[in-house]
Every structure is written in structure tokens, then in C-alpha cells.
A and B are shown apart, each in its own frame.
Chain A
């Protein structure tokens, strides 16, 4: 591969090669999209996760248009946008990434690298590996798993602040003239996030080391932040667990006598009733991964605080493990 091209032979061949060229170049291709007029005035920002959209809107205010074009009811982590939607992302001034492999479709998309902002790039040492994931083996490369970094960093208010700071810096880099606007937006957002952090910290202190269950392993950053004595399951709120899952749960309950289960969304009534029969009450802790009519990120996180505060002051009576 490193064979040297004889310079004389190359020189002789050069004339022919050069003559295959001709003069003239075209203009740079303008990005497509119907946002051209908006882009003259406001920055067009696309996000790959709802909280990032919320942060950018709070920070940018009227100076930005933020889009997260995911269809309703789709899990953003599993979403795979069409080529047409990817083309919309290409037209953005900034594309806000959550990092850590969140939004797998990014690995298969063509996006302008210089407009990508990895909002969690500033804290690689604080990322957590996701457990599980199906491994498979085929071909010469052997075994490999597709599990990656735990994605939902924004549930930890401290990490959310770091991500918001990264968004602010990226916006300022693109539009320095609006730096003051962006900084004031960030300051207001940071105040709200710090208040959240404080409320969660107080509630976690009241909870002490009481054991908890989370229905899904999407809360590792929250668990770590507040030092919770928690275990995560793989239960879906809209599905009643199978008998085998209940059996496993009963066994886990012996080792980890939790009185609370926190769900991503309100569970099925049957699941809730069965848990009650085991002395485990249900609460909802919305991970805020998707946009919702129930409120924006901050409103939903405040509701999470309210739910979380009830855990420490309202311990249910133990009815025994069957």
C-alpha cells in the first residue's frame, strides 16, 4: 500500500490527468428546507431528545426555533426518522445530541459534523454504562453487544445544568450577538434546575436508605445523584407483568424489601393492585423523554418532586411477602 509512485512516471502521467480537469466551480449548495426565512432571523435548532428541546427553548427564547419532530407515542431512544426528516436536521444551525449513544439513528444518518453539539461531552467521567443488552456473535469479529451508555442524563438536575450550559455555549458560538439573551435564559433555567435539585435532595434525605424499586432501568443518574437504595426492573407500565416476572419480583422483594415502585407512567390497574397486595405502592416518576400534553419538562419534574416527597413521609404498611 505504501509503494512509492515513481515521480517521473507520475509526472508524465500528470499531464493526462490534469487535462481531465476543466475550469469552473459551482456555488455552495444551500441547505434545503422551508425554514429559510426563519433562519435569517432566528437560529434553527433541532434536538434528539425532548429535554434538550426544552432547555434550548428556555435559553434561546425568541432568538431560536427549536424542533424535535418525533411523532407522538414513539420512544425517542428507538425512533428512526425518515430520510426526509434527516434532511430537515441537516438544515439546522445546530443539532443538539444527548450523547452516549442516545438516539441510535444518529449512527446511520448523515449530519453536518460541525453543527452537532454533544451536550454531555463535558462529563464523560460521569456517564454510566447500561447493563444488559442482547449480545450476538457472527462473522470474524465474534461476540458483541449493542448495550451502551445509560442515556437519560437529564433526570439528574446537575447533569441537566451541565447540558444546558453546553447548549448555551453552542448558541453563543453560532450567534455571539445574542450572548446576553442566551446567558440570561440559561441563568433562569439554572435557577429552576437548582431548585429542583434541592427539592429532590431534601426528599431523598427524608427517605433515608429506604429501599425502592424502579420499574425500568432509566433512572441510574437519579439513583446515583441521591444515593438511593434502589433496584430497577424491566417492567412496562402498559403491560401486566407475567407470572414469571411476579415470581422473580417476590424473590427480589425478600432481599430488597421496598415499599415503593416508581413507574415511568401510570401502571395498569391490575399491576398496581398486585403490588399493593405485596405491600408495594406505586408512584409515577416521569423521565420526561417525550413531549407531553401534561406539561413541559419543568412542570413534569416538579410533579416528580411532589411524588418523590411522598415516599419519605407516607410509608405504606407492610402486608407481608407471599
Chain B
């Protein structure tokens, strides 16, 4: 038996290029469906984990998927607004703790998420440097955002204008970095976190300007009638909130009408969650409530359907590859007629010749499968990290 394996091995080693091509082809055809399963499984697990860690999500009526992608992963289009009053209503119900989300602006490629301090406890984010935001105009960065923007505690981050050519649009706000979170390996790493009030200031709903009643502001006053002072266009509005001007920042209108892109609702218990969901069933309610885990499961079902098609296609390609490999072996038999005759003449039986040829095939298959196994292990251990780095680089 050893001599048969020796001869088979020597043959394969002699034609190492042909052997390498065959082994690689077989390895890939085995690895692709396995690796795809592993990576999709890992991805689904991570997505599901974040969705399952977010019990309920409230947002404007529309696409639940858009709401979940926007609120959990800070991707997708900005959903329609819901008013702050929705958050107040959830809080007043006593059924759940509401956490506001206002994710509509960016600092370069990084989402600016307006929220409250409860979000950091809810997500288990741990400070690596600095402190939590305390007043408007301060921000905290996820680890990846801090690295990409090359800023740390004490530096500043500028919100990106919505449009370069919209002179009446939202102007950038310069925000002071007061804290940087340790890497959480979640979408939070890419985020510039601000208080939701800071987000409203970026949106122009709150602002600070020179005191129009002060003596030095005469040039900015268009007219004054009794207690009403009307400013002209030269009134100085601040684009950075500092200890010197923070007292001038104020908000206009009814706070209950202020916009949010979503609200995370953390119910007291399962029953409270069901009761809260029931409140949003009424047709007059302008908002929707979703279980992110359910939305993501539906999405993943679609992913798994796509995966099944891909695996089937790979299966067909695999059959083709094996047929090609068989053809290579059959053709090689013709080329090896003299070699086989020589083995027979020196005393090798036809059975022994057949055993040598079968051994060659088995060795190639085993090597291919082993190579595929190594690739699958690497994919399961480092695949998602490698692709994540590739995507975010």
C-alpha cells in the first residue's frame, strides 16, 4: 500500500503545477458554499444581536426596514420625523424608557447622532478618554470616528453642511470633543454623539446670537417697538458654543414639536412592551413601533433565500469543475500509456495500476478538502474582521 501511495505522490509531485491547479479548484469549489455559510451566519448573528438588543423602536410611519437601518446602523435614508411629544408620551405612559435619536447630519463621512446620556448606558459604551457630554456644543466620538477624523479630547469637530450651495440651509456647527469611547465593534464606533439639543441647534431650531437689548448691539437692530426688538441681517449668530456665549443659546417654538428620527423604547417588562405596541395600533397615531429583531429576521430570511440561490449556483459550478477534473484525469491516461505499460512490464498487475491512479485522485481530493477546511477556519475566525477593515478602509 505504501508503494502505491509513494508512486501516486511522486507522480503528483512531478506534475506539481497541474496538481496545484486541481487542488486549488477543488478547494475553492468546496470552500465557497462553506465559507459563504460561515460569513453569512456570522453577519446574521451580529446583525441580529444588535437588533435583539434594541427591544422596540418608534419612528414615523413608513418603511420599518428604513427605520431600523437608520436608527440602529445609521445607514439608509433619513426617515420622516416624529415629534418630541411622542417621546414624552412614551415616558408619561410609564411603560418604557424612551431614548431619543436624531441621526440626520454628518461630520464628513461619520453620522452625527443626537441622543441622551441613557443611550450610552443602554449600549454599554465605555469611555476610553475624557468625560460625557455636559452641555450643548459638546460631542463624544466612537473609536473609529476619532481615528478617522484624527481628533481627541479637546479638539473640535465640524458638522458638514447639508448642501454647499444652499445658502439658507444648515450651517456647520463647531463642536468640542469631550470624550472618546473605547471600541465597541458596533456601528457606534463610527458615530459622533451629541446631545439631541445640539442636533437641533445644527438644524437651526436653536441658536445663539448677540444680546439685542445690549448697548453694543445697536447696529444689529432693525427696529424696536416696546419689548419687541427686530434684528437685521447683520445680527451675529454663533457657530460655536463656548462658555462665553452659551447663555445666549435658546430654542424657539414648542419643544413638543421638535423633530426626532427615532426613539428607542426600553419597556419595563414584556407585558409593558406589548401594551406599548398596542398604543401604536390606533389609526390616529402618526408613528409606528417595530421590533427591530422581527424586521431584521424578515430581512435575513431574504438574505438566506439569496444565499440558497448562490449556493445552488456554486453547486452547479462545482459539478462542472469535477467534470473538468475527471476529464483531465482521463486525458492524462492517454498521455500516460507508456508509463502504465512500463509498470505492467516490470510486474505491476492491472489492479495495482488502477490503485495508483485512484490514489492520485484521492490524494488530490483530500488535499483540496483540507485546503478548503483551512480557508473555512480562517474565514470563521478572521473573515468578518478582514472584510470589515476592507470595507471601512
Contacts and interface: CB of A to CB of B under 8 A. Distances in A.
Contacts of A10: 65, 69, 76, 299
B185 interface: yes
A90 B118 CA distance: 11
A107 B47 contact: no
B86 interface: no
B89 to A, nearest CB: 14
B117 A132 contact: no
A137 B126 contact: no
Nearest to A25: B124
A73 interface: no
A255 interface: no
Nearest to B208: A108
Contacts, number: 200
A141 B249 contact: no
Interface string B104-142: 000000000000111011011111000111111010000
B228 A25 contact: no
Contacts of B127: 29
A145 B227 CA distance: 9
Contacts of B251: 107
A11 B231 contact: no
B237 to A, nearest CB: 8
A21 B185 CA distance: 6
Nearest to B47: A18
Given A19-B388, A111-B117, A28 B66 contact: no
Interface string B60-89: 101101100100010111111000000000
Given A2-B79, A20-B392, A138-B230, A87 B299 contact: no
A209 interface: no
Contacts of A12: 306
A31 B221 CA distance: 45
Contacts of B385: 22
B377 interface: no
A147 B250 CA distance: 12
Interface in B177-203: 178, 181-182, 184-187, 195, 197
Interface of B: 39-40, 42-44, 46-47, 49-50, 60, 62-63, 65-66, 69, 73, 75-80, 91, 97, 116-118, 120-121, 123-127, 131-136, 138, 178, 181-182, 184-187, 195, 197, 207, 209, 212-213, 227-231, 235, 243, 246-247, 249-253, 299-300, 302-303, 306, 383-385, 387-388, 391-392
14 contacts: A2-B63, A2-B80, A14-B47, A14-B300, A14-B303, A16-B387, A18-B43, A19-B39, A24-B184, A26-B181, A26-B182, A28-B124, A136-B228, A146-B250
Interface of A: 1-5, 7-8, 10-12, 14-29, 32, 80, 82-84, 86-87, 90, 104-105, 107-114, 132-139, 141, 143-146
